Structure 1
């Protein structure tokens, strides 16, 4: 009894492949006279059973008898021996378990790739096999039947095709397989029907017999004589791969293409002399297209695009795609140059170790290694963990000497490979490094410096820059649901927010330098997260749990290809799983983190979340070299950041004219420097950071008037923010002194000038002065107590003796024509030297140092031959050490002259005017040599005496250093600063 006679014994589900289709059979075999005359279904079935089955007819459109007999030689032999009546009978009885019913459906492909179910799982649901599921459900769900029939491809390539949406296009296609217009329809990227008919005219002439050319390709008697599409050559493949030719000859594969589809394309074997599949598969556009599911394999992408590279519709992604391609090409070009001269990492005592896990991608690895060698010439240990590479990586020791290579049989991934490498680390610091990076100069030095100088830092991460020149991350954030995000992704690497160091939740394992002792104590990466994703996040969390910081350092800059050493297609499946594992492992800690929200981004960008936030506003960036009170502002910022551990945002009212080429080295590297906005952008800045700042510190009284309307407009954003005005130096005192020197008869009352200066300070919560004298002047005007914050200095006297020194030193910045320092130099040039030059020591020069604004020509002012204008000098210490006397003949000023404290702290005796002596509060003749500001001859005589009298010189030097030690101690300064902030 045939299967068609036993419907009652089958499950109720209607199986199209099992049933005899009389209407279809009559139409398909109408060329046989008896069949064309039959009308009754029972008669047609009887004819099939008596005549059609022995002749090799198919019973329905879903089972191809001719194909089945050709595909399975054992079935054909059984039919010939009369052990089974037909291939269809064999398929119904047992073949359905593991064999294919036709050339368009692949049972194992469908069960493994489309369903992920075993035969037992299907039978549990009343299904005989995957074909049952496909015809009943999968076809109309748009699933692929095999490599030779993709529903998506079929509909894209045949938009005119009409089918019943309830059954799916596969059913309609198979029911009309022998229709003339079906012969050229493309069903997959792996077979080109139209090209096949053009390439083989004999097949085209007989296509009515074959129905679709794929049937001819799959069941012709000489399978190695035909190519399936223009990008695969049987002859070339067999000649290029002798192992395949032997397997085909042994009957293991029908032809070379059968091997290529199953193994060759995954192995990157070349299918055609003009197709470099291995290189094509590495292209970022191809990797992305595979990852998003647009094409099943790189070869499918090649066939679909006729060898072109896939493009993206989105401009940004397209730009990144081109940049990634350029990076790869440059890596390949650089590798060619590197092979001519081997790299050498041989050493005995490495400063640090590098663990790099690789699998193929030889050009990437060579680029990373060459950048390591170029950016750090010192000794390092390179541990290369090779996960079964098949390219030139397997022979890399020919091109790179001194490697410590760990060879593994397979690609175990970053996590397991890194742990294998960690076991061999010999240096005190270990750098986990991807091979798809290019390290910028100074990065290694910066990371090592952090770990050597900061005991609390356990790991250092990099500013990762993508191939587009945009940020991948500037440190990363862990949210309270366990998800993460790279801070500032897609922003410019030069943006201020990316260019200050801070402790963070974690940094990417693409570049992560860790203390070796700590990494080994934690046993490296947790295998729980194997093969990848969240292993670096977990390690950083465990480092922080040990009491160490994970520090993001913008000086550690690395160009990262991103996904160059992995497959983005893995992300969705593995990432989702590992997020859950990570969350449950660290749940108690993670739930204390911020909720994933844009409003929480600023606070979440650092792991030091309990710190007070200070917004520090000054005229200009407080760089010590420009003088005019900015050295003091620099000290305040430095003490806030480095000693009190506060988060400080420095915001200049007048931003620099040009973007900085790097980080501002004379400002704390953990201070956020907003150099690019200025007063025009302050209101929007405050609104964007609503509720973020605890203290707003305003430098200089005149800025109160500038900021008053802005702060009024931002009151809601500053609701809980205390506003402090640091007067730095009371301008009225300086201006009143100028007027006095000018001999004005209408000299105003100083108290009136003070009231005018402080007229717009009603919104200030606390006032700060630089000296007790100025605090006493301000207090009555503002009607409240004024705090005092002077200068902080540590004595660092140089030991060069009196006799080994020579010349006078003047230091002072000149910002504008009204500068007290400009007045001083004019007075020296126009009054003192013409009248008293003979009183000064012969041969003694007056060296003039300091920043001078471009609008002032100092050379035309300093005409006396004693002057040596040196201009701006970065480091004054060598000048303090070699000169004998510091002079400060200032005639009007306010505040406390910073340069007096600076020179005294270096052990250089000072000659100054009485006005400066009064401001600083020292004893004239004992701590500092003084003279009136209106008597050039007396000042010149004092200069001469201090210069010539070694006893006096030593007394002034000793007493000034003692004053610095007593009055400018860091501990006292910090107490005063904390009291002001609290």
Structure 2
């Protein structure tokens, strides 16, 4: 076994062992059971853990565990060594905070009213408010804090908190009635009920609100709740057909992909939930038959689902650390508030008996969690998460997922590099795409396919190199439809690139032939082969591919403000520079074409946009050439430039940059290769040039002729109409029906 493989094996075993240690230790502690380090399988687990630590100290590619020796005392050192801090949440506020004044921004018209009911434990309340101040952004909110007759110093210390609405009960009303009372004072369109024994994490509220913005049927959204020691408390909650509730994923690793996709659920615990004020009022608030507390959140979610016919969602991107049981304890004792958990259970079952009888009889929590999945499941595989703003192939993949969601598919996506790159990861989660990623770095992505192989109906695998890796696994289940997405025919691109050289070596010819043989064989073996253009589909068919369909790039016209001919200046190019044809195009443009134009028109400026520009592209920066690198929003460039130029000398497939320019109605000059596969007509919706002199002539003509420019400007939208999402959606329906 190589050193790297051995390191990964140790990491995997250590992670699994620490998870078992934490689950055993903390689950017993949360239930109020005695935790003896010499019982309950802990001794064997501790020995395993120490063995892996010992190996870690001496392997060449891993530093010693320095942080262990920074523990504040010997007890912490031992617990850390034994793996009990393996999953600890970083950056938690201290248990005994310095009570400095907190000042919130006053909001006259808040979007969200955050309601916090408090009974004693001011240190937790203070940390809750401080975390809100630190981590709540991009949302206008107000805070309504209701003090439920606390007997500690809450009434005095709360005066240090500025710009919140403070209510105080003369007698203890309990959590439920306090929340109903506070809700009557809310000014926000949405109500967020938040426990005072919580610490919210970055963007928690923005991500909850995003669900309502993206889904008009959303009725209530709950956060991912995490214990302070790092294990999962809840990834949404479930109710079985007998009316028994359960926290999904309790004591599991919160970073597993299984607990990190946006999905419908039965209910979410009231420690952190968001719903519209109108719906809360329509349901007359929390049902007061459950006073003072317990089951009011479960009941509210059932009413949202079965009375208002709306959806309850678990939002994994909204993370909240919950110090569960601080106010009411963790154990049911005679005469305690916690006793209402048992009393109200029967009330809940009685109230919802008819609905519960319609629930499926299930054997496991996983089945309960997936009971909302009634559609076909498609798994899409590509190199990375689709960086839709950096490469046209990834933009196409992103739009395809949106279309599959609109067709009611369950959509899974597996990035071969295993990375949760932002902002693309969060974007997909909010689209309700299940992103598969490994629990530990460097885990083979094929292991993720094995995890879901029995769940999928269609496997859509991009690019020949990925099909070689994943298709053999997919083929182990004959029921799965294997769709091989060529993206473009690589052997055509490679052959065209080499033809630009003066000579092609025998080795290079063999490489092209090898690429071609691989692509042709894959197209023969796959259940469906997806080409991106009609010409490439014809190539595959003539070489024996059995079922080839064309799914092109997807283009959506820009509908914002447009500038007139006279208001524009300069020409532009866009393209990701990991793609070699783009480098070649820009060097041809700047070394041969533009110098001839600048002889007579030195005022004409060139803008070169695109991610990952190499040194030879960056070196072009000058008074006449602006090399921007990656641009997050290219709208200003496309609406301010007068002409788009793409002198592509080689490549294959459909060129996203051409379609993008047409989206913005920006007149295009390109080569035959740049325009291929899009049915573009020279002189009607595009200008074609294939030599330096032709480019000089067409650029000069189009740049200074307003009548000609307006013709191409007006014809642009019609050129990409066939690539609109609705038309591509119809094609996909035909294929998979």
TM-score by length of 2: 0.80
1:910 deviation in Å?
0.7
Q: 2:326 pairs with 548, 554, 564, which one? A: 564
Q: 2:450 pairs with 665, 675, 687, which one? A: 687
1:400 deviation in Å?
3.6
1:465 deviation in Å?
2.6
Contact kept, 8 Å, 1:623 with 1:666, in 2: the verdict is no
1:626 deviation in Å?
3.2
1:378 deviation in Å?
7.1
Q: Deviations over 1:130-161 (max 9, x none)?
A: xxxxxxxxxxxxxxxxxxxxxxxxxxxxxxxx
1-side partners of 2:524 and 2:247: how far apart? Answer: 42
1-side partners of 2:553 and 2:368: how far apart? Answer: 34
**CA 1:582/1:684 → structure 2, altered by over 3 Å: closer, same or farther?**
farther
2-side partners of 1:378 and 1:405: how far apart? Answer: 21
Q: 1:841 pairs with 601, 604, 611, which one? A: 601
Q: Aligned runs of 1:219-298 on 2, under 5 Å?
A: 291-292=32-33
1-side partners of 2:377 and 2:327: how far apart? Answer: 39
2-side partners of 1:378 and 1:724: how far apart? Answer: 42
Q: 1:803 pairs with 563, 566, 570, which one? A: 566
Q: Which residue of 1 aligns with 2:628?
A: 870
1-side partners of 2:598 and 2:631: how far apart? Answer: 29
Q: 2:725 pairs with 963, 966, 970, which one? A: 970
Matched, 1:956 2:712: yes
Matched, 1:631 2:395: yes
2-side partners of 1:620 and 1:395: how far apart? Answer: 54
Contact kept, 8 Å, 1:381 with 1:427, in 2: the verdict is yes
2-side partners of 1:960 and 1:578: how far apart? Answer: 64
**CA 1:612/1:314 → structure 2, altered by over 3 Å: closer, same or farther?**
farther
1:510 deviation in Å?
0.5
Q: Aligned runs of 1:117-128 on 2, under 5 Å?
A: none
1-side partners of 2:393 and 2:493: how far apart? Answer: 13
Q: 1:826 pairs with 564, 584, 587, which one? A: 587
Q: Aligned runs of 1:725-740 on 2, under 5 Å?
A: 725-740=484-499
Q: Which residue of 1 aligns with 2:219?
A: 458
Q: Which residue of 2 aligns with 1:514?
A: 275
Q: Which residue of 1 aligns with 2:615?
A: 857
Q: 1:776 pairs with 538, 560, 580, which one? A: 538
2-side partners of 1:647 and 1:288: how far apart? Answer: 38
1:552 deviation in Å?
2.2
1:652 deviation in Å?
1.8
Q: Is the partner of 1:893 in helix, strand or coil?
A: coil
Q: Deviations over 1:668-689 (max 9, x none)?
A: 6222222448996344323322
Contact kept, 8 Å, 1:292 with 1:569, in 2: the verdict is no
**CA 1:456/1:596 → structure 2, altered by over 3 Å: closer, same or farther?**
same
1:432 deviation in Å?
1.2
CA RMSD, Structure 1 to Structure 2 (Å): 3.9
Q: Which residue of 2 aligns with 1:767?
A: 529
Matched, 1:386 2:142: no
2-side partners of 1:809 and 1:541: how far apart? Answer: 55
Contact kept, 8 Å, 1:701 with 1:758, in 2: the verdict is no
Q: Which residue of 1 aligns with 2:38?
A: none
2-side partners of 1:290 and 1:500: how far apart? Answer: 28
2-side partners of 1:395 and 1:322: how far apart? Answer: 36
**CA 1:948/1:668 → structure 2, altered by over 3 Å: closer, same or farther?**
farther
Matched, 1:549 2:311: yes
Q: 2:179 pairs with 408, 414, 418, which one? A: 418
Q: 1:945 pairs with 701, 707, 715, which one? A: 701
Q: Which residue of 1 aligns with 2:648?
A: 890
Q: Which residue of 2 aligns with 1:371?
A: 131
Q: How many residues align?
A: 663
Q: 2:663 pairs with 895, 905, 914, which one? A: 905
1:826 deviation in Å?
3.0
1:483 deviation in Å?
3.4
Contact kept, 8 Å, 2:438 with 2:448, in 1: the verdict is no
Contact kept, 8 Å, 2:148 with 2:168, in 1: the verdict is yes
1-side partners of 2:117 and 2:77: how far apart? Answer: 30
2-side partners of 1:894 and 1:823: how far apart? Answer: 14
Contact kept, 8 Å, 1:499 with 1:663, in 2: the verdict is no
Contact kept, 8 Å, 1:416 with 1:530, in 2: the verdict is yes
2-side partners of 1:325 and 1:927: how far apart? Answer: 56
Q: Is the partner of 1:621 in helix, strand or coil?
A: coil
Q: Which residue of 1 aligns with 2:6?
A: none
Q: Deviations over 1:947-974 (max 9, x none)?
A: 111111111111112222x322222121
Contact kept, 8 Å, 2:413 with 2:435, in 1: the verdict is yes
Q: Aligned runs of 1:286-435 on 2, under 5 Å?
A: 291-292=32-33, 319=84, 330-334=94-98, 336-338=99-101, 343=103, 348-374=108-134, 375=136, 380-395=141-156, 398-400=159-161, 404-408=165-169, 410-435=171-196
2-side partners of 1:696 and 1:792: how far apart? Answer: 20
Q: Is the partner of 1:724 in helix, strand or coil?
A: strand
2-side partners of 1:590 and 1:763: how far apart? Answer: 47
**CA 1:365/1:881 → structure 2, altered by over 3 Å: closer, same or farther?**
same
Q: Deviations over 1:58-82 (max 9, x none)?
A: xxxxxxxxxxxxxxxxxxxxxxxxx
The more displaced of 857-866 and 622-631 is 857-866
Contact kept, 8 Å, 2:649 with 2:673, in 1: the verdict is yes
**CA 1:697/1:514 → structure 2, altered by over 3 Å: closer, same or farther?**
same
**CA 1:311/1:940 → structure 2, altered by over 3 Å: closer, same or farther?**
closer
Q: 2:578 pairs with 802, 812, 815, which one? A: 815
Contact kept, 8 Å, 2:551 with 2:728, in 1: the verdict is yes
**CA 1:629/1:390 → structure 2, altered by over 3 Å: closer, same or farther?**
same
Q: Aligned runs of 1:489-504 on 2, under 5 Å?
A: 489-504=250-265
Contact kept, 8 Å, 2:387 with 2:424, in 1: the verdict is no
1:930 deviation in Å?
1.1
1-side partners of 2:640 and 2:78: how far apart? Answer: 67
Q: Which residue of 2 aligns with 1:980?
A: 735
**CA 1:492/1:679 → structure 2, altered by over 3 Å: closer, same or farther?**
closer
Q: Is the partner of 2:221 in helix, strand or coil?
A: strand
Contact kept, 8 Å, 1:638 with 1:667, in 2: the verdict is no
1-side partners of 2:85 and 2:325: how far apart? Answer: 13
Q: Is the partner of 1:921 in helix, strand or coil?
A: coil
1:369 deviation in Å?
2.8
Q: Is the partner of 1:394 in helix, strand or coil?
A: helix
Q: Is the partner of 2:182 in helix, strand or coil?
A: helix
TM-score by length of 1: 0.61
1:813 deviation in Å?
1.2
Q: Deviations over 1:437-471 (max 9, x none)?
A: 12234323333344355421111211223222443
**CA 1:412/1:311 → structure 2, altered by over 3 Å: closer, same or farther?**
farther
2-side partners of 1:432 and 1:681: how far apart? Answer: 41
Q: Is the partner of 1:887 in helix, strand or coil?
A: strand
Contact kept, 8 Å, 1:612 with 1:694, in 2: the verdict is yes
1-side partners of 2:421 and 2:722: how far apart? Answer: 36
2-side partners of 1:796 and 1:459: how far apart? Answer: 33
1:418 deviation in Å?
2.2
Q: Is the partner of 1:569 in helix, strand or coil?
A: coil
**CA 1:517/1:750 → structure 2, altered by over 3 Å: closer, same or farther?**
same
Contact kept, 8 Å, 1:625 with 1:850, in 2: the verdict is no
Q: Which residue of 2 aligns with 1:654?
A: 417
2-side partners of 1:923 and 1:968: how far apart? Answer: 16
Q: Aligned runs of 1:915-926 on 2, under 5 Å?
A: 915-926=673-684
Q: Which residue of 2 aligns with 1:26?
A: none
